Structure 1
Amino acid sequence: VAYAKKLTKFDATGAMEVAGLHYTNNDQLYTYFLSGILEQGGTYFAEDGRHFKFNTPEAVAVIRKMVEMAQKDKVVDPVTYNAESNWVGAAFAQKLTAIAVLGSWFAGEARITYPDLKFDYVRLPPFMGPQYKFTSVSGWGIVVTKYTKHPDIAWKLAAALSADPENALHFNITTGTIPALKQVANDPRLHQAHPFMKDLLELLPYGVFQGDVTDPHQLEFDIVYPNIIQAIQGMISPEEAAQRIHEEANAMVDSAGK
């Protein structure tokens, strides 16, 4: 945040020309929210493991910090920079933001799509405390539809693309994604292509599965993001955002049945 404040730029009218830190996209708010709760020693699941506890002091503290970064530190204008306007990757490529919070895949994407863009990919500090703890979901994989007429051939192709170390290495180098195979993760060719990978791989022991959240897409895009971005924009309080997320997330679970 200290660096971002120095990098933020405003025009003569006070409008933000360059955001110092663009963290107000849907993926970023969702992952920061869940991880920030865990980093404080909290949990977002109720005792039954299906319902949620989002109206907690830990949840409110995460949202409050997100609000302060925009409203107090002014490192981003959440009205101009969000999931619907100035998407984080495009904003970074167009030099409308100095620091962009993005998954490692963007490093691979940017090298291909924006070959003249000069940038570095670095590990950010923990969001809510001194120790990393973050949620994780399964990565980019290859699936085979149950309707295929040739499942044996399809699975052989899937294995050739993802389980063969050389092919997997090619995929991870091209995309800049974290390897699923430990053999690839330790391959010096990966680290030569992406020096930042060493820092990312050191974080893996601090990751935990996000759990069965009923409908991850609905939770992120329809519940967590809309409420938190409204709080960051000053439309509702952090407490109201946490309570709304709590109620809507549990309604999602109930509507899904047992």
Structure 2
Amino acid sequence: MKFNFKKNVVLTLTLFLLILAGCTNSTTTKTDDISKGSKKEKIELSFYFPVSVGGPVTKIIDQLAEDFMAENPTIKVNPIYAGSYADTMTRAQTSVQGGNPPDLAVILATELYTLRSMDAIEPLDRFIEDDYINDFYEGFLENSQADGKTWSIPFQRSTPVMYYNKEAFAKAGLNPEKPPKNWDQLLSYAKKLTIKDGSGEVEQWGVEIPSSGFPYWLFQGFALQNGKNLMSDDGKEVYFDTPENVEALQFIVDLSRKYGVMPKNVIDWATVPSDFMKGKTAIMYHTTGNLTNVKNNADFEFGVAYQSANKSYGSPTGGGNLYIFKDIPEEHKKAAWKFIKWLTTPKRAAQWSIDTGYIATRKSAYETKLMKDYVKSFPPAAVARDQLEYASAELSTYNNGRIYQVINDNLQAAIVGDKSPAEALKDAQQEADRILKPYN
């Protein structure tokens, strides 16, 4: 065979160039390169997020990602709408179990114990500098920290508040500037606000408290107003069937089944704001995360107030935190933390609150001119923030999803009349004790 020297030199040179191209096409990026905008290949972050309120939240998240990438060209953030909070948690769990976790996600703050038991999330203390974490409201950190570590950053946070129709109040002879301050007043006002037509059909309910979606959350507010929280600080015990909690659930049930000022059947989480804005209910209990939605769409003057007190005021915190997942490359963790810090700067926290109605989670956000001007022009924006004085951590335990199902199912059974409040909470307690037994 005749040796073709020229042809072999060309083949060798081509092979060498291909190998060299492969070596220089690596996706690994030093931390410094993330900040300096090097020409190396971008780090791509998968970012799961839920939506559980009205309004254009998906568009807002997409725009935030675009703005971040414009300032940080070496990082590409892929926002992935994952459904409800429950859907997002399920998708994250499935991804972790499949060995392909997201880089970061907004997941309920209450999923802390479950995510830790899966060894799924990264503690964040090594990234936190100066007094950054101390600027967040203490009530939100209760669901963010455990065993001396910070596991997530408060972001999409809320408390349930009372919305009320001032025009309906005036028509009923009630002072539009004085919402009910206690349970007795809530019942008294609701009776006056319930309107029926000539055939006895209700045209306007006095009050609506959702009993789907997050029934445990709304019930927890009444429990706090009547005693103490529903769970231990370590997530290993629940206190569902105390006499105080039975009394709280009895009050909620009586609003519908005894006094007829609230619908008797399960009241859907998603339709309550619509009912309120259409004038079908004069008072609603709902998340402050719907504040901007109501502000933009209600064609009447409304007010926002603390939930009515009994023994004291009380409210659970709620909403989602930002988590970084454990089994991802180190450079992705650093890039994800850079995005989290960017998202939670005081000015962006303020704008996020204005755009959505969620509470700005950093104290300094309320010191920005942007937020000061907004609260001055729209005082209801400060109500949920102020209610944090009486707030406690949302129900959070190990095996959180199963505990939620147990308490929600039994709350709904009491609300529709299948069980008495005492029976429902006793059943919930026994089943929850069984679920939590391996952790004690």
TM-score grouping bracket, smaller chain normalisation: 0.7 to 0.9
Mapped partners of 2:392, 2:284: distance in 1:
23
Match of 1:51 in 2: 237
Q: Deviations over 1:143-199 (max 9, x none)?
A: 44443663323321221121x222221111111121111111244124135311333
Match of 2:336 in 1: 154
Q: Deviations over 1:223-246 (max 9, x none)?
A: 223222322222221111111121
Pairing 1:109–2:290 present? no
Deviation at 1:73, TM superposition (A): 2.2
Q: Structure 2 residue aligned with 1:195, among 364, 376, 379?
A: 379
Tell me which amino acid in the other structure corresponds to 1:18.
Q
Deviation at 1:127, TM superposition (A): 4.0
Pairing 1:235–2:421 present? no
Matches within 5 A, 1:92-171: 92-112=276-296, 114=297, 117-129=299-311, 131-137=312-318, 139-146=319-326, 147=328, 150-162=332-344, 164-171=345-352
Mapped partners of 1:201, 1:47: distance in 2:
23
Q: Give the TM-score taking structure 2 as reference length.
A: 0.50
Mapped partners of 1:11, 1:37: distance in 2:
35
The question of whether the paired residues in 2 share the 8 Å contact of 1:4 and 1:75 is answered with yes
Mapped partners of 1:52, 1:31: distance in 2:
14
Mapped partners of 2:397, 2:207: distance in 1:
29
Deviation at 1:211, TM superposition (A): 5.9
Mapped partners of 2:233, 2:339: distance in 1:
42
| C-alpha spacing 1:52/1:180, structure 2 compared with 1 (3 Å) | same
Deviation at 1:23, TM superposition (A): 0.6
Aligned length: 249
Q: Structure 2 residue aligned with 1:177, among 332, 352, 358?
A: 358
Structure ranking higher in strand proportion: 2
Match of 1:20 in 2: 206
Deviation at 1:58, TM superposition (A): 0.8
Deviates more, 1:171-180 or 1:92-101: 92-101
Match of 2:267 in 1: 82
Tell me which amino acid in the other structure corresponds to 1:96.
K
For structure 1, the residue ranges without an aligned partner over 5 or more in a row are none
Partner-residue secondary structure (3-state), 1:229: helix
Deviation at 1:48, TM superposition (A): 8.4
Percent identity, aligned pairs only, is 23
Mapped partners of 1:209, 1:165: distance in 2:
23
Tell me which amino acid in the other structure corresponds to 1:3.
Y
| C-alpha spacing 1:165/1:238, structure 2 compared with 1 (3 Å) | same
Deviation at 1:50, TM superposition (A): 1.4
Q: Give the TM-score taking structure 1 as reference length.
A: 0.81
Partner-residue secondary structure (3-state), 1:101: strand
Deviation at 1:27, TM superposition (A): 5.8
Mapped partners of 2:406, 2:259: distance in 1:
26
Partner-residue secondary structure (3-state), 2:397: coil
Higher CA-based Rg: 2
Q: Structure 1 residue aligned with 2:246, among 48, 54, 60?
A: 60
| C-alpha spacing 1:233/1:247, structure 2 compared with 1 (3 Å) | same
For structure 2, the residue ranges without an aligned partner over 5 or more in a row are 1-186
Partner-residue secondary structure (3-state), 1:22: coil
Mapped partners of 2:211, 2:377: distance in 1:
28
Deviation at 1:207, TM superposition (A): 1.5
Q: Please, what is the CA RMSD of the aligned residues? A: 2.9
Mapped partners of 2:325, 2:301: distance in 1:
39
The question of whether the paired residues in 1 share the 8 Å contact of 2:204 and 2:280 is answered with yes
Tell me which amino acid in the other structure corresponds to 2:346.
P
Mapped partners of 2:267, 2:188: distance in 1:
21
Deviates more, 1:28-37 or 1:182-191: 28-37
Mapped partners of 2:373, 2:233: distance in 1:
45
